[in-house]
Amino acid sequence: MSNRNGGTVAVVPAGGLGRRMGAALPKQFLDLGGKPILIRTLEKLERCPDVDFVIVVVPAELVDRARETIDAYPVRKVVRIVPGGAERQDSVHRGLLVLPAGAELVLVHDAVRPFVTVRKISESIAAARECGAAILAVSSRNTMKQVENGWVVRTLDRTLVWQVQTPQVFKTDWILEAYEKAQRDGFRSTDDSLLVERMGYRVKVVLGEETNIKITTKADLVQAEALVETEEDRA
């Protein structure tokens, strides 16, 4: 690990089984423009000079497949491939438990967000280094309603509502503390920053990009296939 402020370690949860995709392969292993989605994501972290090491978390039965896939590409920052848990939170926690010593920052990034730019990864890391916690997010372009039992409760001010993306980056002690408390409390969330917010820490928002989509459905895959054709135009 580099000596730059203790280093930044990326934890990449790739635990999905692709049920919503309806494919024979889990979505992270599906081909996208000639490469598995997982590899396209790891390549972004590989190219980012601010990321030192990468830990990939996959379903236990796919550890060997993940290792073979990763070994076939030049993604040398991957130091551990860890069997995941029942849910995303469990998988990220297992990645956190094997962090290299001395990591100052932890970056969590979804394996199925291959279109994040290297620039935005670096911006997120820089913000977390300054503020302690940072997330990528984009403002909502649509009118947002709060709904309960099928009825509108109120219309929200969309300028105050943001759609959260990854990466999310945290001081190592903050995210470890947040995960330990969530486990003690039996608190569940699919959003890492919410666990940190529960500790009373403030989270800085870094403006994300609309192209940083999460591929979870067939429609997402169609959009991704279109985006991959123009990816060279994005840094």
Q: What is the pLDDT of residues 19-62, one digit of tens each?
A: 655 566 789 999 999 999 999 999 999 999 999 999 999 999 99
Q: Render the burial of 9-32: b for 16+ CB within 10 Å, e for the rest.
A: bbbbbbbbebeebeeeebbbbbeb
Residue of 120, 110, 123, 114 lying closest to 15 (CA atoms) = 110
**Average pLDDT, rounded, for the chain:** 93
pLDDT tens-place string over residues 70-118: 999 999 999 999 999 999 999 999 999 999 999 999 999 999 999 999 9
- Tell me the residue ranges of DSSP E strands in 45-161: 53-58, 78-83, 105-108, 133-139, 144-148, 151-156
From the CA atom positions of the chain, what is the Rg in Å?
17
Average pLDDT over residues 159-180: 97
Q: Which helix (H) or strand (E) holds 187?
A: none
Q: Is the pLDDT of residue 6 over 70?
A: no
* Separation of alpha carbons 166 and 187, rounded Å: 21
pTM for this model (two decimals): 0.93
Which domains are delineated in the chain? 4-233 (3.90.550.10)
CB 51 within 8 A of CB 45: yes
- Strand, helix or coil for residue 191: coil
For residue 55, what are the CA distances in angstroms to 2, 23, 109, 234?
16, 25, 10, 25
Residue of 201, 5, 4, 42 lying closest to 121 (CA atoms) = 42
